[in-house]
Every structure is written in structure tokens, then in C-alpha cells.
Amino acid sequence: MAKVPTARIDKLLSSMGYGSRSEMARLGKAGGITLDGAEVADVARRIPVTPDLPLRMRVDDEALDPVAGLVILLNKPLGMTCSHKEEGPLVYDILPRRWRRRDPAISTVGRLDKQTSGLLLLTDDGDLLHRIISPRRHVKKTYRARLARPLTGAEAAVFASGDLRLEGDDKPLAPAELRVLSGTEALLTVTEGRYHQVRRMFAATGNHVEALHRERLGGLTLPEGMAPGEWRLLTPAEVAQVFDPG
């Protein structure tokens, strides 16, 4: 059985962004931290860090934030970026402010362009992140694309060929699957995550992507009714769906 990790309360709360260890010591003395209903004055105490801790611990009379190992599903809105290198508001701004100070830090699992919406995962679990984005895992990503010009009918074969080499890339793309929905709308499923991949794939066929939305990652679909900007934590069973063939 996996050993349950333990942590000092002041260190744990500090790593979750609540404040410095001395601030946590002050908060504990002032009665602002409780565990199983009892005040924790001694924040140097070590406790087991179990996933149910948010149900048992309160800080400033609020349930503790999720402990490390969290996975967030976000319906990324248009206009927000996944990278500090790009200009504009960051997807991290949607999350509670103190989560920016968490250690380990929360990162996006791959990236969506500023002008791409839809299913985006964020996690502080580096191993999981790498397993999802690893090209060896072939996790499928499905995008709904609205195009500037009508599809010609030749695109599906080009994308499925495994021979399409995008400008500037040294290797051809892995085969991808196109499902045409209408003259100017299609679902494209890819297993790689190259830079601006979907936009560049349609550009290679002489078209232009006007709107792009990610609907699916592996076997995990963006829930219907989840509004842009909405997010929630995923359960372990939902995380496992990412590795379902989809």
C-alpha cells in the first residue's frame, strides 16, 4: 500500500498559498485553523496529508483548498492565454488568487492558443502532465474548427496520410482524423500537440481556421452546459478517462 505523506501544518498551508509559515503560526494561535473541529494552536504538528483533508481542516472558517495532486477541468474562454510569454489575461487568473502561490505550481496540460476555446486541464501533478502530453501515449485531442472557405473533400485523405509535413517542421504529422460536419465546419482529431497544429494543418490545405474549440481529450469530453470560464476539479475516475482510447 502507498505510504500516506505527512507534513507540518505550517509548511503545508504555506505551500498551498495561505501565507508564510510565521503567518500560519499567528493564525493558528488566533484560532483560525481547525482540524476535525478542534483548534490547531501548534502549527509545527505533522499530520497525514490525505485527499479528505479539505473535509476535516478549516482555515479562516473556510474548507481547506484541495491538497496536492489536483486536476482542474476548465472551459477555456477566448482571449485568455496559457503562457506568461503571451500578452493578455492568463487562464490562471480564473482560479483562486492564492493558488498562484502553490508549490508544486499548477500548470496547464499543454496549451491552447489565445483564440482557441474549450477543454483545458491544469494540474500540479508533473508526472500526470507528462503522461498526458507525451507523444508516445497518443492521447487524442478533438477540435471543432469553423473554416473561412468551404472544405474541398480532399482534406480527410491528406490529414490521414501521415505524409503531411507542415512548413518549418522536419517530421511529417502523424495521421489525423477529419469528420466533416458541414461545408465549413469539421471535427479534427490529432494525437500530437505541435505549435498551432490545427490552424497550420488547415492552412496547408489552403483554408483558414476562423474559430477553434477543443471538445475532447482522450475519452474525456467537455461537459455540455459548462460555460466558458467555468472550471471544476476532476475526480480520479474522470482523470483516468483521459487515457481511454476515446
Exactly one of 122, 176, 198, 234 binds ligand URA (CB under 6 A); which one? 198
Task: Say how many residues touch ligand URA, by CB under 6 A.
Answer: 9
146 makes contact with ligand URA (CB under 6 A) = no
- Calculated CA dihedral for residues 35, 38, 41, 46, nearest 10 degrees: -40
Q: How far is CA 41 from CA 38, 52, 202, in A?
A: 9, 21, 61
14 vs 116, which CB is nearer to ligand URA? 116
Binding to ligand URA in span 207-226, by CB under 6 A: 212
Binding to ligand URA in span 115-144, by CB under 6 A: 116, 143
Exactly one of 144, 199, 213, 216 binds ligand URA (CB under 6 A); which one? 199
> Minimum Å distance from CB 18 to ligand URA?
34
HEC readout, the chain: CCCCCEEEHHHHHHHCCCCCHHHHHHHHHCCCEEECCEECCCCCCEEECCCCHHHHEEECCEECCCCCCCEEEEEECCCCECCCCCCCCEHHHHCCHHHHHCCCCCEECCCCCCCEEEEEEEECCHHHHHHHHCHHHCCCEEEEEEECCCCCCCHHHHHHCCCCCCCCCCCCCCCCEEEEEECCEEEEEECCCCCCHHHHHHHHCCCCEEEEEEEEECCEECCCCCCCCCEEECCHHHHHHCCCCC
Question: Cell for 74?
Answer: 476548465
> Minimum Å distance from CB 35 to ligand URA?
43
34 vs 191, which CB is nearer to ligand URA? 191
Query: Which amino acids are annotated catalytic?
Result: 113
112 makes contact with ligand URA (CB under 6 A) = yes
> Minimum Å distance from CB 126 to ligand URA?
22
36 conformational bin, left if phi > 0, alpha if psi -120 to 50, beta if neither? left
155 makes contact with ligand URA (CB under 6 A) = no
Exactly one of 113, 124, 125, 155 binds ligand URA (CB under 6 A); which one? 113
Exactly one of 35, 196, 210, 238 binds ligand URA (CB under 6 A); which one? 196
> Minimum Å distance from CB 27 to ligand URA?
41
> Minimum Å distance from CB 178 to ligand URA?
14
Instruction: Map residues 70-109 to x or -, x wherever contact with ligand URA holds by CB under 6 A.
Output: ----------------------------------------
State the residues that interact with ligand URA by CB under 6 A. Answer: 112-113, 116, 143, 196-199, 212
